[in-house]
Amino acid sequence: MFTTEQVKGFILHPEPIVSNTALQYFADSFLYENDTTLMPLVLERMKQSGDAGTVHLPHTYKFPLTEEVIRELLALYQSPTIDKNTKFHLQIILRHCSPEQSIPFMELVEQDPSWQKLLVQKSNLANLDDQELLDVFKVFIEQSTGKSWGEFDTAYGDEIVNELSRRRCMDTEAVLQRLRDNDPHDPSYEVPYLIQLAGLMKLEAAILVLCGFFGSQDDLLLENAKEALVRIGTAGVVTTLTEQYSIAEGESYRLYASGVFGKIKLPDSEEAVLRLLPGERDLTNATILAEGLCELGSNNGLPIVQAMLEGDYDRGLLNLTESIYAYCVISDTLHPSLQDWKKQLDQEEARLAKRKAEADRMFRTKAPIGTYNRLNGTEKTYISPEKVGRNDPCPCGSGKKHKKCCGA
C-alpha cells in the first residue's frame, strides 16, 4: 500500500496524470489536514510545468496555507501571465483563508462583495460564544425551511458547521439523536449539515447511522454521508460497510459504499475490496472498487484491475488506464504494459487538447450559432445547459462523468 510520504513526492512528477493522482490522494481522503508541506509542492509543480492549467487545482482548495505560501499565491493571482481560469481557482484557495490570514490582501477582498461577505461571516461566527453559535445554527435551519437548496446561503451553513466542529460545543448524543430521528421522506436541511458535522468531529459513534443514509434517494444526503465516513476514516467504518455491503437492498448503498474503501488508507480497506470485488456483478460498482485498489496502492489488486481493464468496466465513469498507470508509476512497478498505457493516455490527452483548442478558437472569433455543433458532427443549435449534473458527462469532453472529472 502507498504511504503519504511516498505519494507526496509525486506531486512534483512531470506527468500531469501522475501529479494530479498524487494531489487527489490527499484531497479525497482529507489527508491534507494540518499538513502545510503540500501547498509549497503544488506551487513548485505549477512553476515547473509552465502551464498552470495542467495542475488540477480543485484538489488543493482546502490545503493548509502558511504566510509565505499566501504571499506566493497572491503574486500568482496578480500576475498578468496567469490565465483567467487559473485565477478563478487561486481565488477559491484564498477564500479558504481565515480572517487573520486575509489581512495582507484585504484590498483584493474588498473588490469582491461576495468574498467580503464571507470574511465578515467568518469573523462574526468566531466572535460568538458557544450558546450564541448554537442559536445561530438553529435560526439558520429555521429560515431555510421550505426553500430549495439554491435559495439560501448554503456556504454560510458550511461555515457555521465548521465553527461548531472546531468548538465541539454541540453535544455528541444530541447530534446522533437528531440524525436517528430524521424523517427520511421529508428531511430537514438540518440533516445534511449534521451529517457534515459528524464527519468533521470524527464521531465513530455515528458510523452506523451514517451508513444508513446510503439507503436514501437524496443525493445530498448520500454525498454528505460518504464524505463524513471518509473523514472518520477508521477500521470501524470499513468493518460496518463490509458487513452491510452484500446484504444491502437498495442500489445506492453499494454504489456509494464502494467509493469509500479506496479513500480510507488502511490495510482493512484493501482486504475488504479484495474480498468484495470478485463477487460484485454491477459493472459500475466493480469499476469503483477497482479504482479503489489503485487509490490504496494495492500490489495484490494489480492483476484484478488489469483483468478488468482488458475485459469490461464502466468507461463512462472513469478511465481505469489512468488509474493503473499512475499506480504503477508511484509504486515503481515496471509493468510490461506500462508504455502501451502511456501511449494511449498521450493520445487521449492530444485529442482533448485539440478539442479544447477548437473550442477556444471558436469563442475567440465569436463563431455564429451552430459552429460548436458542426465541430461535433451535428447541425443542431447548441444551448448551454444552466447546470451540469454530477452524473452527467463532463463538458470538458473527457468522457468521464462530471463528478469524476471537473466536478470532483
* Residue 334 lies inside a defined structural domain of this protein: no
Distance CA 406, CA 21 (A): 14
* Residue 185 lies inside a defined structural domain of this protein: yes
* Residue 75 lies inside a defined structural domain of this protein: no
* Residue 16 lies inside a defined structural domain of this protein: no
Closest CA to 174 of 156, 155, 153, 190: 190
List the domain range (segments joined by +) for residue 189: 128-141+152-232
Q: Backbone phi, then psi, for 401, in 5-degree steps?
A: -70, 150
What is the number of domains present in the chain? 1
* Residue 189 lies inside a defined structural domain of this protein: yes
* Residue 121 lies inside a defined structural domain of this protein: no
Q: Backbone phi, then psi, for 39, in 5-degree steps?
A: -65, -35
Q: Backbone phi, then psi, for 393, in 5-degree steps?
A: -60, 140
* Whole-prediction pTM: 0.87
Q: Which residue shows C-alpha cell 487573520?
A: 100
* Residue 393 lies inside a defined structural domain of this protein: no
Distance CA 99, CA 118 (A): 9
Distance CA 46, CA 391 (A): 30
Per-residue pLDDT of the chain (408 residues; tens, 9 = 90+): 999 999 999 999 999 999 999 999 999 999 999 999 999 999 999 999 988 889 999 999 999 999 999 999 999 999 999 999 999 999 999 999 999 999 999 999 999 999 999 999 999 999 999 999 999 999 999 999 999 998 999 999 999 999 999 999 999 999 999 999 988 777 799 999 999 999 999 999 999 999 999 999 899 999 999 999 999 999 999 999 999 998 888 889 999 999 999 999 999 999 999 999 999 999 999 999 999 999 999 999 999 999 999 999 999 999 999 999 999 999 999 999 999 999 999 999 899 888 888 887 777 665 444 443 433 444 433 333 344 555 555 555 444 555 555 555
Are residues 295 and 262 in contact, defined by beta-carbon separation less than 8 angstroms? Answer: yes
* Residue 352 lies inside a defined structural domain of this protein: no
Closest CA to 328 of 315, 309, 314: 309
